[in-house]
Amino acid sequence: MASFLRSTKLVAKLTQGPTKCFSRNYADQMNFTFAAANQIFYANKNIKQVDVPSFSGSFGILPNHVPTLAVLRPGVVTVYEDEGTSKKIFVSSGTITVNEDSSVQVLAEEAHPIEDIDGSAARQVLQEAQSQLSTASGDVAKAEAAIAVEVAEALVLAAGN
């Protein structure tokens, strides 16, 4: 029965014009790319939803999201795959691009699955960053240390989850 239904669907799809097919594809699909300089997680894959942390607040992206640009904040990106599984990946910084054809690019400087994060090492990094912030002199050094603290805090938070 199911196969019969599928075949009728296929026939219906085939009888529709190519433009119809095209627009249908865009209606419920998301061309998702998630890459970091160290690893590629998704390349033009179709997924259900992705939650991203950005400087203008965390938000979820579903297919057909309004086109936007945003800058990634250190934090955890959650990807809900088509099969129902979800994946949590820590990102340090990067960009989010949602285009009008429903293609989404999340590009990070560095990204790792949160399972790979060592909690105690993350806390140590945070401590080092905090001590660096307190000793930093000069605007640039201070800003750099503040960023390090921000990333380390996000790391600890991600490792705790």
Query: What is the contact surface with another protein in residues (CB under 8 A)?
Result: 33, 35-40, 43-44, 55-56, 66-71, 93-95, 97, 99-101, 103, 105, 107, 109-110
Least distance from another protein to the Cβ atom of residue 18, Å: 21
Least distance from another protein to the Cβ atom of residue 77, Å: 14
Q: Which two tokens stand for residue 52?
A: 């991203």
Whole-number Cα distances in Å, 11 to 7, 51, 79: 6, 36, 33
Nearer to another protein, 116 or 120 (CB): 116
Nearer to another protein, 3 or 44 (CB): 44
Whole-number Cα distances in Å, 112 to 35, 58, 78, 118, 142: 11, 19, 12, 11, 26
Nearer to another protein, 28 or 100 (CB): 100
